[in-house]
Structure 1
Amino acid sequence: MIEVENLTLRFGGLVAVNDLSLVVRPRTIHALIGPNGAGKSTTFNCISRLYRPTSGRIRVLGRDVSGLRPQDLAPLGVARTFQNLELFGGLSVLENVLIGAHVHCGGGLRERLAARPPAVIGHVEHLLERVGLAEFRHAQASALDFGRQKMLELARALAIRPRILLLDEPAAGLRNREIGALDRLLNELVERDGLTVLLVEHVMQLVMAISHRVTVMNFGARIAEGTPAEVRRDPLVVEAYLGQEAAHA
C-alpha cells in the first residue's frame, strides 16, 4: 500500500530523514516509533506531500506520488490526521466531518457545507456513531474536550472513505478509557473495513497492542523493524527509546 525507498530529506545542513525505506502491507497497522526528533512526522509529511524529499521515492497504492500535491491524495483514498488538532472550531461536529466528505460533494468550503446529499449525510452520521460523537453532532467543535476532538479529527479523515489512513499521534493526551476505544476502533477499521493504517505514536500501550509491524527511527534513520515483540527485545531500540523497564513490561 505504501512503499518508501531510500527517502532522504535535508533542511540545510540538517538531515531530518536519512535513507529510509519501509513497506506498509495491505490491511495492517504499521507503527512508526522513535524518540522526539527522530524524523517520524517528517516522514509522514513526505508521504502526504507536505514536504518534498531531497531524494528517494514514495509509492502509494502502486503510484509514484512525487509529482502530486497534498490535495491530490484524498481522491486516491489517502487520509491523515495531524499531531496538532486541525479542526474548524467555530463549526459544528457534523459540519467538520461533512468537510471531510468533500471528495463526494465537490466545490469549495461553502459549497461543501451547503450541499448535503442524503447519502453523504447518512455516511457522516454513521461515522459519528462509530467514534462516539453522535450526541454531540450539533455542538461546536471547540466545545468538545480534547479526547473527543481527537475522535472528531479521526471521523473527518474517515469521511473520505479512505483505503489508507495516516495517523500522527492519535493517542496523545488521551485517557486510558479513550485509548481503549481507539484500540477497538482501529482494529475494526482494519479487520472489518479493510483499511491500511500507518501511525506515528508514542503511547507504547497502544502500539504494542494493535500493530502488526513496527518501524523504529532514530536520528532520521531506521534502526529496527519487526513485530512488536521483536522490536521490544531489540538492544538498539531499548537503548535509543524504550528503556529496560518498557522492554520487559
Structure 2
Amino acid sequence: MSAILAIEDVTVRFGGLTAVNKFSMAVQKGAIHALIGPNGAGKSTVFNCISRIYQPSEGRITLNGEDISKLKSHSMAGRGVARSFQNLELFNELTVLENVMLGAYSRCDTTFLQRLTPRPKQTLEQAEEILESTGLKNYRNTKASGLDFGHQKLLEVARALAISPQLLLLDEPAAGLRSREIERLDELLTSLNKTKGITILLVEHVMQLVMSISDRISVLSFGEKIAEGTPTEVKNHPRVIEAYLGTKEAGRG
C-alpha cells in the first residue's frame, strides 16, 4: 500500500513551547490508523496541522504526494479530507438532514442561504444514504439540539461523510459514549473503511475502540513519537505502558 498522508519531521512551537517535536507518521491508503497518547501529548496539534488550522514551524505534510503544508484550511475539503471535532460543531437549530446536506456544500463558495435552498436532488439523495448508513434515518427531521449526545457524535461523522472523503480525520469520536454506542461506532467505522474504502485517522482515548479497529497505531508523549506498530505491538511496548496505557489497561487488549 502507498501512503495517502505523510507527516515528515513536523515541529510545532507556540512561543517558547514546543508542542510537537520532529514528528513523522505515514498513513497508508485504505487503513485505519490511530494516534494516541496522554492528554497534552500533542495529538490535536498534529490534527490541526493536517487540517491546516495550524502551520508547522518545521517539516512538511503531504497528501497523495502533494505538499499541503502551506494550504488554507478551506481547501482541504476539495482534496477529499473531512474532519470531526473533539467538541461538537453542529448547527443545533438545523435538522439532522440539513446538517448533513450543509456538509456536502463545504467544497462550494456559496452563501449560507444558497447552501440550504433549493435542495439539489443529488445532494438530498446522498444525505439520505448517509443517514441510512449511520443509523440516523429516523432522526432526519429532528433538530440537532434534540438528539442525545451519542447521536450527536454520529451526526458529526455523518456530516463529515457528506463530502465523500478519501481521508476521514476523527478527533475523539468515542469520547463520552456509552459501551453500546462505542460498539455501534466500531461497526460504522469498520464498514466505512471496508465497504467504501475510506482511510481513517483517529485520535482517541477509548482503548476498546482503538485496539479493535486500528491497523496501525502511533503513540505521542510530550510531543514526541515513542512507539508505532500494530495494536498488539503497541499495547505491549514498555514505553507505551509506562506513558499511557498502564499495566491493567494494556492487559485488556
Q: Per the shorter chain, which TM-score range?
A: over 0.9
Identity of aligned residues (%): 57
Q: 1:219 to 1:105 in 2, by over 3 A?
A: closer
1:21 aligns with 2:21: no
- TM-fit CA distance, 1:236: 0.2
CA distance in structure 2 between the aligned counterparts of 1:20 and 1:136, rounded to whole angstroms: 41
- Asked if 1 retains the 8 angstrom alpha-carbon contact of 2:150 and 2:181, the reply is yes
Deviation (angstroms), 1:105:
6.1
The answer to whether residue 123 in structure 2 is matched with residue 120 in structure 1 is yes
- 1:115 is displaced (CA, Å) by 3.0
2:157 to 130, 135, 154: 154
Counterpart of 2:127 in 1: which secondary structure?
helix
CA contact 1:104–1:120 (8 Å) conserved in 2: no
Match of 2:213 among 210, 214, 219: 210
Residue of structure 1 equivalent to 2:72: 69
Structure 1 position 67, deviation (Å): 2.3
Corresponding residue number in structure 1 for 2:13: 10
CA distance in 1, matches of 2:145, 2:19: 33
The residue that corresponds to 2:82 in the other structure is 79
1:165-216 Cα distance to aligned partner (Å, 9 max, x none): 0000000011111111111111111111011000000000000000000000
Q: Structure 2 CA distance, aligned partners of 1:181 and 1:46? A: 29
Report the AA paired with residue 23 of structure 1.
Answer: A
| Mapping for residues 78-157 of structure 1, pairs under 5 Å | 78-103=81-106, 107-157=110-160
Unaligned runs of 5+ in 1: none
SS at match of 1:89: coil
Letter in 1 for 2:214: S
Residue 45 (str. 1) matches residue 45 (str. 2): no
Choose 96-105 or 178-187, whichever is displaced more. 96-105
Structure 1 segments, 4+ long, off by >6 Å, are none
State the match for 2:238 in structure 1.
Answer: 235
Write the distance in 1 (CA, Å) between the matches of 2:107 and 2:48. Answer: 24
Could you say which residue in structure 2 is the equivalent of 1:60? 63
* Contact 2:55/2:70 (8 A) holds in 1: no
Q: Is the 8 A contact 1:106 1:112 kept in 2?
A: no
Which residue does the alignment assign to 2:250? 247
Unaligned runs of 5+ in 2: none
Whether the aligned pair in 2 keeps the contact of 1:105 and 1:115 (CA below 8 Å) is no
Structure 1 stretch 14-23 or stretch 63-72: which is displaced more?
63-72
Match of 2:34 among 31, 36, 39: 31
Residues 104, 70 of structure 1: alpha-carbon distance in 2 compared, 3 angstrom cutoff: closer
- SS at 1:248's partner residue? helix
Q: Which amino acid aligns with 2:135?
A: G
Q: Which shows bigger deviation, 46-55 or 127-136?
A: 127-136
- Cα distance in 2 between the residues matched to 1:152 and 1:124: 11
Bigger mean CA offset, 137-146 vs 203-212:
137-146
Is 1:170 the counterpart of 2:154? The answer is no
Q: How many residues align?
A: 249
Which stretch has the larger CA shift, 203-212 or 54-63? 54-63
What is the DSSP-based 3-state SS (H/G/I as helix, E as strand, rest coil) of the residue aligned with 1:230? helix
**What root-mean-square deviation, in Å, do the aligned CA atoms of Structure 1 and Structure 2 show?**
1.0
Deviations 1:17-74 (A, max 9, x none): 1100000001100000000000000000000000011000000122111221111000
| Distance in structure 2 (CA, Å) of the matches to 1:10 and 1:103 | 30
Structure 2 SS opposite 1:88:
coil
1:198 matched residue in structure 2: 201
Q: Give the residue type in structure 2 aligned to 1:227.
A: T
Is the 2:78–2:107 contact (alpha carbons within 8 Å) kept by the matching residues of 1? Answer: no
